Structure 1
């Protein structure tokens, strides 16, 4: 395998169209490709952490007048230079070059491989972006794994040998991606929304057999799940695992369909019969009893709450109470003085 270190002209380097973020952009826009669009596709991430990392990378390159680690490039048999790893850094150089043509942005340091076979290119991408320091967001990982497994028909054992991990973990990523494409994207588009790859984590949770069984038990389908994602009923991925409990609880189930999982969870910890009795009491009687209970809470009870397995849900109920109470008091105060 011939390898060379080179300073390559930016305008001689082609971005890697098999990068899942670029590939997704091309699938949407076809021939209407612009440099701004490619930049947006590369900067997109599944969370704020990755976006912050991108901003930090851009600033580091600007301050240091260049990159520290070389990009990886394949020189094809026809002489074309194609990025294997480093699309984002090449795009940053292009942006800087447009803004500062006299700056050191016309060439970039690269490790150049001579006509690598596809299998070795896959291995490099997987090692860099699925388990390496510059990992892709989960949706992009799943999209690439789906490309390898279901389109290029690379054996799963070979994929795992490149990036490590377990067979069921790779299957879960691919299945979640396929569910998004099959169920979520058509519904989002029909609702007038752009499909959001950041919803991937919810479909990743959907792959748990307990959730699938619960959907079937209550006569729901994956298409219903996708509708809930689009409508906002499934508002957080971390609570998707609570779905079987919610669907089994009449009040929580009803609240979930009206609002979302976060609201429905609050009904999981309440006795249905007691709630119905309490609903007939006045707001002031309930407030009096609750304030007394809170004043009388012991250190032992406080510690027990802190280490309760359901602490986050119970804390959420109290925070919701605090928010609602403040909102009512502010509304009353906004009415002005009582001169009656």
Structure 2
């Protein structure tokens, strides 16, 4: 693949890419023939997720728009493919192209009629995939996890791209890529059939990533449940967070906690486990004593090795302790 030819292209001559993996899930509800710039603009403006981090992302279109206006243009050219029929399609930089169009349409100060671009001629599908992977899976504005996993799944199972090639392009590691691809497959197999068209929530994808843990799957199967049962727990929010998925082995192992989980959800089940694990003597210890004990245990090899056989209870308490310590640290800093 060549580096492309630099050109300043008229914005109305470059098509926005409706097959862009990050926005495709937003556009699938429309017939392809009716999709216009308005629909694509809405999809491009959607945050990658509903999390506070995503909503506060400094690379969202509004922030990008402010940067483009302040700099009177873009510093990084968009990437365009000239197809056999002569049409120009934006492969990378759809948001920037859309912002240029919007500024031009609204008569913003400056010349927004042309946009800097690197133009390639007849890019091969693999080259397009490489550009997308390198620009967004590890780039400044990554796709949401579900869209990323869907794209990786299609590369491996539809385009038959070798896993090693996928890993090399997106810069991750083979374990994480494999888990992401399988999580997408499991979500489509178990979760999607349970949902009406407007019920499918890509934000629940992270739960299926945690479902890839052999320890979690073994606990589900050994207790007579299936992937469909897990999907139902995710859908009805009996399991709500990543941490709660990790607690399935401990909860399903305890008869009382298991019954509470199936009736009232994971949060109540974990509370039941915590009540059973309460230690009166530890409650009397000072923060200094507890901190010293944790510091001692943290470097104990037998304690570390025991994690391999842990059913999740120890990890659950360690994660809770980390959260509490971070809160305590913030309070200490504020008080100081």
CA contact (8 A) 2:17 2:89 kept: yes
User: Could you say which residue in structure 2 is the equivalent of 1:329?
Assistant: none
Match of 1:49 in 2: 53
Measured in 2, the distance between the counterparts of 1:164 and 1:312 equals 28
How far apart are the structure 1 equivalents of 2:322 and 2:138?
Answer: 35
Give the one of 140, 143, 156 matched to 2:163: 156
Q: Is residue 303 of structure 2 the alignment partner of residue 303 of structure 1?
A: no
Distance 1:306 1:265, change over 3 A: farther
Q: Please, which of 221, 230, 235 is the counterpart of residue 225 of structure 1?
A: 230
Structure 1 gaps of 5+ residues are: 276-289, 318-340
Q: Per-residue deviation at 1:100?
A: 2.8
CA contact (8 A) 1:252 1:264 kept: yes
Identify if the C-alpha distance between structure 1 residues 69 and 233 changes in structure 2 by more than 3 Å, giving closer, same or farther.
Answer: same
Counterpart CA distance in 2 for 1:149 and 1:103 is: 44
Shift in CA distance, 304/197, structure 1 to aligned 2, threshold 3 Å: farther
Report how far residue 236 of structure 1 moved: 0.7
Cross-structure match for 2:101: 94
Over the aligned positions, Cα root-mean-square deviation in angstroms equals: 3.0
CA distance in 2, matches of 1:96, 1:204: 40
Q: Which residue pairs with 1:322 in the alignment?
A: none
Q: Equivalences for 1:261-280 in 2 at 5 Å?
A: 261-271=266-276
Q: 1:50 to 1:110 in 2, by over 3 A?
A: farther
Q: Deviations over 1:196-248 (max 9, x none)?
A: 21111111111111111111111111111111111111111233111111111
2:257 is matched with 252
Q: For the structure 1 residues 76 and 2, does the alpha-carbon distance in structure 2 shift closer, same or farther, using more than 3 Å as the test? A: farther
Q: How many Å separate the matches in 2 of 1:12 and 1:248?
A: 62
Q: Distance in 2 between matches of 1:258 and 1:58?
A: 48
Which of 200, 207, 215 lines up with 1:202 in the alignment? 207
Distance in 1 separating the partners of 2:214 and 2:127: 35
In the TM superposition, what whole-angstrom CA distance separates every residue of 1:115-162 from its partner, at most 9, and x where no partner exists?
222221211111112223332221121111112111222222332332
* CA distances 1:85-122 after superposition (whole Å, capped 9, x unpaired): 11121222233333336643322111112222222121
Match of 2:142 in 1: 135
Task: Tell me the TM-score normalised to structure 1 length.
Answer: 0.77
TM-score (norm 2): 0.78
Partner of 1:9: 10
Sort the Cα spacing of 1:82 and 1:128 in 2 relative to 1 into closer, same or farther, 3 A.
same
Match of 1:112 in 2: 119
Is 1:236–1:262's contact at 8 Å kept on the other side of the alignment?
A: no
> How has the CA–CA distance of structure 1 residues 166 and 300 changed in structure 2, closer, same or farther, with 3 Å as cutoff?
closer
CA contact (8 A) 1:149 1:155 kept: yes
Alignment of 1:21-36 (within 5 A): 21-31=22-32, 32-36=34-38
Q: 2:185 aligns with which of 178, 190, 203?
A: 178
Aligned to 1:280: none
Tell me how far apart the structure 1 counterparts of residues 84 and 321 of structure 2 sit (CA, whole Å): 63
Cα distance in 2 for residues equivalent to 1:311 and 1:169: 23
Unaligned runs of 5+ in 2: 298-314, 325-336
Tell me, in whole angstroms, the C-alpha distance in 2 between the residues paired with 1:304 and 1:36.
59
On the 8 A contact 1:126/1:163 being kept in 2, the answer is yes
How far the C-alpha of 1:301 sits from its partner, in A, is 4.2
Residue in 1 aligned with 2:172? 165
Contact 2:18–2:40 under 8 Å retained in 1? no
Q: Partner residue of 1:335?
A: none
The 2-side partners of 1:125 and 1:315 are apart by 37
Distance 1:123 1:220, change over 3 A: same
